[in-house]
Amino acid sequence: MISKLRKSAKNTPTHLTITQPDDWHVHVRDSEMLAAVVNFTARQFGRAIIMPNLAPPITSAQAAREYRTRILAAVDEKHDFTPLMTCYLTDNIDPKEIEAGFAQGVFTACKLYPAGATTNSDHGVTDIQNIYPVLETMQRIGMPLLIHGEVTDADIDIFDREAVFIERVMSKIIKDFPALKTVFEHITTKQAVDFVQESGANIAATITPHHLVYNRSAIFAGGINPHLYCLPIAKRELHRLALRKAATSGSSKFFLGTDSAPHSVEAKQSACGCAGVFNAPYALESYAATFDQENALDKLEGFASLHGPHFYGLEPNKCKIVLERTNIEIPKTLDIMDTQIIPFHGGEVLGWTFTGILS
């Protein structure tokens, strides 16, 4: 399972062959958008944790089963891709529904959105106490809880919402459910890195490609850049550096989750633009470039392909993929449906290219 680095004359690797990665946090949407975006994920990843924030959200095993069927129908038959479904937690969701969905192998995990935190989170949880019976059930059956970790109080500054969530909510969940498997999703702060590192083995975190690449100043550099706006919003440079250190540390508590969240160019470039970065098309290229800059290519396989399955109690994928040290030009826009979506890194050149899956 050790990644193979093929070295060039200058002793820098020219190829990287690693176990096929999984994406532990992705939004593939529904209907036409689903058909247009899902193969970007299925092309690179063996499995993906599918976010349930559709409108209406996925709150029953039956809805998840039907959504999974729609996803599989949209995946090109040349890809061997497994969607792992999640249940969207609401204030009054029935723990029995969750337990049954998990037992039937429909639900892999539950997603907690604090109400109002992000795109399609209106049905989210208004007070964590409301779902204590659900959390008790999940702890008992070993079902992971995936958390969007931001408070939503209007008086808390947007850049502080993750740190305050740790103090007010996350610490309480961990204290009251010490054995609950919990993933702190798309972490953006040094406080979150420290919290995860200091917690037990049942607490892990996903890290996106974009939070490793830019800080909050980049969103406003030379004018407002709506394509870098996502939630949780990028923070100061010190936080980005803490995330890069955590992702490349080799710690099994940190793993890949793109949070790829496509919105049309009109929805992004609007008077009230949507949150979300569409990074699925060149996700592995982005992570590889970051790990290379950190001199940590030998840590990429753990982060991308091994730590996630280990946390979820699954085997790593059997296939290998190859990344090549070759420049790749990222298109400025992608034609999707009858509009465009701007991919992350659009218009840039990255130094690593995903060349395919070895069968």
The span from the CA of 294 to the CA of 310, in Å, is: 24
- Span near Zn ion by CB under 5 A; candidates 57-65, 257-265, 280-288, 320-328: 257-265
Kindly tell me which of 187 and 230 has the beta carbon lying closer to ligand NCD.
Answer: 230
- Span near Zn ion by CB under 5 A; candidates 30-38, 187-195, 254-262, 332-340: 254-262
- The structure tokens listed for 296 are 């940590």
Which entry of ligand NCD, Zn ion, none binds 53, CB below 5 to 8 A by partner kind? ligand NCD
Say which amino acid occupies 146.
Answer: L
Task: Identify the three-state secondary structure at position 65.
Answer: helix
The span from the CA of 57 to the CA of 88, in Å, is: 6
* Residues 56-93: b if buried by 16+ CB within 10 A, e if exposed: ebbbbbebbeebbeebeebbeeeeebbbbbbbbbbeeb
Q: Would you count residue 118 as binding ligand NCD (CB under 6 A)?
A: yes
Q: Would you count residue 41 as binding ligand NCD (CB under 6 A)?
A: no
Q: Which of 259, 292, 298, 338 is catalytic?
A: 259
Q: Would you count residue 276 as binding ligand NCD (CB under 6 A)?
A: yes
- Span near Zn ion by CB under 5 A; candidates 29-37, 41-49, 252-260, 311-319: 252-260
Q: Would you count residue 53 as binding ligand NCD (CB under 6 A)?
A: yes
| Binding footprint of ligand NCD, residue count (CB under 6 A) | 11
Which entry of ligand NCD, Zn ion, none binds 124, CB below 5 to 8 A by partner kind? none
Q: Would you count residue 99 as binding Zn ion (CB under 5 A)?
A: no
Which entry of Zn ion, ligand NCD, none binds 151, CB below 5 to 8 A by partner kind? none
CB of 280 to ligand NCD, least distance (A): 12
The span from the CA of 193 to the CA of 76, in Å, is: 37
β-strand pairing of 47-50 with 339-341: unpaired
- DSSP 8-state secondary structure symbol assigned to residue 77: T
Q: Would you count residue 192 as binding ligand NCD (CB under 6 A)?
A: no
Query: Which residue's C-beta sits nearest to Zn ion?
Result: 259
SS (H, E, C) 208-260: CHHHHHCCHHHHCCCCCCHHHCCCCCCCCHHHHHHHHHHHCCCCCCEEECCCE
CB of 96 to Zn ion, least distance (A): 27
β-strand pairing of 13-19 with 320-324: antiparallel
CB of 210 to ligand NCD, least distance (A): 9
Q: Would you count residue 231 as binding ligand NCD (CB under 6 A)?
A: yes
Q: Would you count residue 54 as binding ligand NCD (CB under 6 A)?
A: no
Counted residue by residue, the chain has a size of 359
Kindly tell me which of 276 and 346 has the beta carbon lying closer to ligand NCD.
Answer: 276
Kindly tell me which of 193 and 230 has the beta carbon lying closer to ligand NCD.
Answer: 230
Kindly tell me which of 16 and 169 has the beta carbon lying closer to Zn ion.
Answer: 169
- DSSP 8-state secondary structure symbol assigned to residue 269: S
Residue 298 designated active-site: no
Kindly tell me which of 146 and 321 has the beta carbon lying closer to Zn ion.
Answer: 146
CB of 334 to ligand NCD, least distance (A): 17
Nearest to 208 by CA among 224, 220, 192: 192
Q: Would you count residue 259 as binding Zn ion (CB under 5 A)?
A: yes
Residue 274 CA, chain-centre distance (Å), reads: 17
Among 119, 202, 206, 286, binds ligand NCD (CB under 6 A): 119
The span from the CA of 276 to the CA of 263, in Å, is: 7
Which entry of Zn ion, ligand NCD, none binds 174, CB below 5 to 8 A by partner kind? none
Among 148, 190, 253, 307, binds ligand NCD (CB under 6 A): 148
Contact residues for 163 (Cβ-Cβ < 8 A; gap 6+): 189, 191, 192
Neighbouring-strand partners of residue 86: 109
The catalytic site residues sit at 259
